Amino acid sequence: MINPYVPYLGRLADIQPLGTGIKLFKVQLEDQTVVREFTYRPGQFAFVSAFGVGEAPFGITSVSGIDDTVDFAINKVGT
Amino acid sequence: MNLITHAQLRDWLATMMADRTVIAPTRVIDGLVLYQPVNSPDAIAFDFTRTAISPKEFFLPATEAILTLERIGQMAAGGDGTGLKWNVKLSEPELEREQVLFGCRPCDVHALLALDALLLQDPVDAYYARRRERTTLIGLACEQMGPTCFCTSLGFTPDDQRGMDVMLYPVEGGYVLEALTEKGRMMADGLTMEPYAGERPQKAWPPAEFSVPPRLVWPQLFNDPYWGRLADRCLSCKLCAYVCPTCRCFDVRDYTVAQGPGYQKIERLRCWDSCMAEGYRRIAGGHNPRPTKAQRLRNRFYCKFDYYPADFGPLACVGCGRCIDYCPVNVDITEVLQAVAAKGEALATNATRLSP
């Protein structure tokens, strides 16, 4: 049984500023099987963890199967 | 079916306790019966209608560590001397011992069946699923309904056996025992018991005083001022969610439990949350779709009788009546259901009158 609460590990490949308080975080997933098999559709979101703080849902910005990284454009709001 | 005497039951429980955690109703103080792990059959209470809080904590604990994360920093090759490359190791909690939930009531097991509709559907909640799989449910049929019980309004009776692995019906001198599943048969295997050739001892219960209004009625009453009047006295104390066997919302947060140079150990905890909390639906940026008590209290009833059955099938209420017993301001779910039914009927009558 796959445990949906176990996150896929990845590394930040790049951070690009997009505007005031907005950044694009490009994540390179570590597990090659996941990189091949993890697909998603426009509008879906992922729970992204900041280890030690927690996890929160963020919409996925990149396009599945086209981009190498999984990207999140994040606005600095909330806690 | 078999007949098990009180003495035989005692022996059976003692055998179970040797290699499993047996959770059973215990009288904590006079008037307070709770499900707790027990070490001796003598600790078990048999004279109660239902426990103060539901046994859902043994399947969905109030607080549980769902992951342990260890962040280990290593000097990166070619780094500037202070640069560390962090690696993360994730580990899931150890599986617990096999459990037996002894003396569970039909309402609480119907609640597990309702939770199964959500938590065992894909993607399966691994922690709930493991506990559910490792627990044998030995049910105890009720002999009478409590003053706030209303399971009969929800389509089942206080001696319903659905969902149980083994069912016990109290009779003179002991219980009629019926093993209902493979798990139940294995648990009862080897027990010395007399066969029982009579009818299954199920009683004729009085007819339900009211029934749950159909799902179609609820959307029509969404903007009714009734919800505002009802919520005036609500304290948002969340006791209703705490004692409820079907409430299941939770929050997830990380806590650092150990830390040193190049090392951090984090526990990811989940704990019970409630839609009664003021900030339950608040999102980043500050917007809150349910800023008033009226909206939040309304959500409680809509979730149970409209949204949950629409999404998953069963109602998210089993008529146990605990919320009625413990609400400090006497918000009574049976009054709400009857008010909604009456308003629904009034709307239907008016519609008929107005149609050509």
Q: What is the ipTM of this complex?
A: 0.91
* Placement of tokens 């104390």 in the chain: B237
Q: With 90 as the cut, is the pLDDT of residue A67 above it? A: no
Confidence of residue A73 (pLDDT cuts 50, 70, 90): very high
Q: With 60 as the cut, is the pLDDT of residue B356 above it? A: no
Residue of B256, B284, B286 lying closest to A52 (CB–CB): B256
Read off the tokens for B233: 């006295």
Residues in chain A: 79
Confidence of residue B211 (pLDDT cuts 50, 70, 90): very high
CB contacts of A49 in chain B (<8 Å) are 254
B20–chain A nearest CA distance, Å: 24
Number of Cβ within a 10 Å radius of residue B22:
25
Strands A70-75, B2-5: pairing kind: unpaired
Sheet holding B135-140, edge to edge: B32-38, B21-29, B99-104, B135-140, B166-171, B174-179, B2-5, B194-195
> If you count residue pairs, one on A and one on B, with CB atoms under 8 Å apart, how many are there?
56
Q: What is the mean pLDDT of residues B39-64?
A: 95
Q: With 50 as the cut, is the pLDDT of residue A63 above it? A: yes
pLDDT at B87: 86
Taking Cα atoms as reference points, which of B178, B222, B174, B216 lies closest to residue B197? B178
Q: What is the mean pLDDT of residues B171-176?
A: 94
Integer Cα distance of B172 and B196 in angstroms: 13
Q: What is the mean pLDDT of residues B322-344?
A: 96
B187–chain A nearest CA distance, Å: 25
SS3 letters across B76-124: CCCCCCCCEEEEEEEECCCCCCCEEEEEECHHHHHHHHHHHHHHCCCCC
Does residue B262 sit in helix, strand or coil?
A: coil
Confidence of residue B354 (pLDDT cuts 50, 70, 90): low
pLDDT at B244: 97
Contact B338, B230 (CB under 8 A): no
Flag if B254 and A54 touch (Cβ within 8 Å). yes
Integer Cα distance of B71 and B266 in angstroms: 8
Taking Cα atoms as reference points, which of A67, A43, A39, A69 lies closest to residue A57? A43
Average model confidence (pLDDT) for chain B?
A: 93
Read off the tokens for A52: 């030690």
pLDDT at B80: 45
Does residue B175 sit in helix, strand or coil?
A: strand
Amino acid letter, B30: D
Q: What is the mean pLDDT of residues B259-264?
A: 91
Q: For chain A, what percentages of helix, strand and coil (3-state, to nearest 5) are there?
A: 10, 45, 45
Residue of A1, A52, A77 lying closest to B254 (CB–CB): A52
Q: What is the largest CA-CA distance in chain B?
A: 86
Q: With 60 as the cut, is the pLDDT of residue B15 above it? A: yes
CB contacts of B127 in chain A (<8 Å) are 5
Q: Is B84 left (phi over 0), alpha (psi -120 to 50) or beta?
A: beta
Read off the tokens for B337: 């259901």
- pLDDT tens-digit readout, B83-138: 678 888 888 887 778 999 999 999 999 999 999 999 999 999 999 999 999 999 99
Contact B138, B100 (CB under 8 A): yes
* Placement of tokens 């066997």 in the chain: B245
For the CA atoms of chain B, what is the radius of gyration? 24
Q: Does B351 touch chain A (CB under 8 A)?
A: no
Q: Does B231 touch chain A (CB under 8 A)?
A: no
Residue of B90, B252, B286 lying closest to A54 (CB–CB): B252
pLDDT at B92: 86
Integer Cα distance of B298 and B286 in angstroms: 21
pLDDT at B78: 47
Taking Cα atoms as reference points, which of A20, A28, A21 lies closest to residue A62? A28
Helices (H), B102-193: 106-119, 126-133, 182-188
Taking Cα atoms as reference points, which of B273, B123, B284, B247 lies closest to residue A6? B123
Read off the tokens for B42: 């003598």
Least confident of B213-222, B228-237, B258-267, B347-356: B347-356
Residue of B92, B283, B286 lying closest to A3 (CB–CB): B92
Does residue B186 sit in helix, strand or coil?
A: helix
Contact B42, B58 (CB under 8 A): no
Q: Does B254 touch chain A (CB under 8 A)?
A: yes
pLDDT at A48: 95
Confidence of residue B301 (pLDDT cuts 50, 70, 90): very high
CB contacts of B90 in chain A (<8 Å) are 6-7, 9
Residue of B88, B129, B284 lying closest to A77 (CB–CB): B284
Find, in chain A, the residue whose alpha carbon is nearest to that of B258. Answer: A52
CB contacts of B66 in chain A (<8 Å) are 5
For B166, half-sphere exposure in the C-beta direction (CA atoms, 13 angstrom radius) is 25
CB contacts of A55 in chain B (<8 Å) are 252, 254, 268
Beta strands in B214-311 (DSSP E): 250-260, 263-272
Q: Does B76 touch chain A (CB under 8 A)?
A: no
Residue of B127, B253, B284 lying closest to A54 (CB–CB): B253
CB contacts of A2 in chain B (<8 Å) are 123-124, 126
Find, in chain B, the residue whose alpha carbon is nearest to that of A9. Answer: B88
Q: Does B264 touch chain A (CB under 8 A)?
A: yes
pLDDT at A68: 85
Flag if B67 and A55 touch (Cβ within 8 Å). no
pLDDT at B350: 80
